[in-house]
Amino acid sequence: AQLAQAEEVFQNRTRAYWMAQGVGMVAPQTVWFSHDTVLASGVEIEPNVVFKPGVKVAENATIKAFSHLEGSTIGEGAVIGPFARLRGGTYIGENAEIGSFVVTKKAHIGKNTKAKQLNCLVDCTIGESVNIGGGAMIANYHHFRKEKAETHIKDGASIGSSSTLVAPVTIGEKAFVAAGTVVRQSVEDGSLIVAKPEIVIKPNYGNK
């Protein structure tokens, strides 16, 4: 009980301190800080956000509701969440957007890049002004080798919805990965990679 009381005192003091430094909180009692959280002036924090150790947030960034951050650096003007999970080794560049149900780990994400929903971005470097479509994933783990590999996505690339990048691969500058494509090889600058499996239609199949 005493430990819980001490935590409550620490959290209340920390909330008051950051609001005095120009950080905005809609519902401060629902925001939880670590001892080493660093926030710049103009940061906006929505309800039910958790800061674990090792988080730094730059000016005018927004952390939306129900986001969980640890070991991450957030650039100026970036928008995180709602419902985002940023794990250790994450760097988010200026004005980047990391949206709902996006998970990052050991990810360096450049400025103006957008990953708005349902993405797994792990062990990767992603350049500037990249668009990551909904449901796009990075597959980084080789089960039999027990190894993880890296993925590199260069500036201006577009990763289509529900595509999977099987590491190690590099997606070139301004390259396009079509929706639903499983990428097992690197893609050159400006190229398009698309999977076009045969479509089978059987009329009246449900009437058997």
Q: Residue 85: is its pLDDT beyond 90?
A: yes
Rounded to an integer, what distance in angstroms lies between the CA atom of residue 197 and that of residue 194? 10
Rounded to an integer, what distance in angstroms lies between the CA atom of residue 109 and that of residue 199? 36
Question: What are the tens digits of pLDDT across the range 33-71?
Answer: 999 999 999 999 999 999 999 999 999 999 999 999 999
CATH number at residue 7: 2.160.10.10
Angstrom distances, CA of residue 16 to CA of 4, 10, 12, 110: 18, 10, 6, 32
Question: What are the tens digits of pLDDT across the range 109-153?
Answer: 999 999 999 999 999 999 999 999 999 999 999 989 899 999 999
Q: Residue 103: is its pLDDT beyond 80?
A: yes
Rounded to an integer, what distance in angstroms lies between the CA atom of residue 160 and that of residue 184? 15
Q: Please report which helix (H) or strand (E) contains residue 159, including its range.
A: strand 158-159
Rounded to an integer, what distance in angstroms lies between the CA atom of residue 13 and that of residue 11? 5
Q: Which two tokens stand for residue 116?
A: 């708005």
Q: Which two tokens stand for residue 53?
A: 């150790």
Question: What are the tens digits of pLDDT across the range 66-84?
Answer: 999 999 999 999 999 999 9
- Give the total number of structural domains in the chain: 1
CA dihedral 13→14→19→20, nearest 10 degrees, is 60
Please state whether the predicted TM-score (pTM) of the whole model is above 0.95: no
CA 202, 203, 206, 207 dihedral sign is: negative
pLDDT at res. 134: 98
Residues of the domain holding 14: 2-207
Contact 91, 71 (CB under 8 A): no
Residue predicted with more confidence, 201 or 16: 16
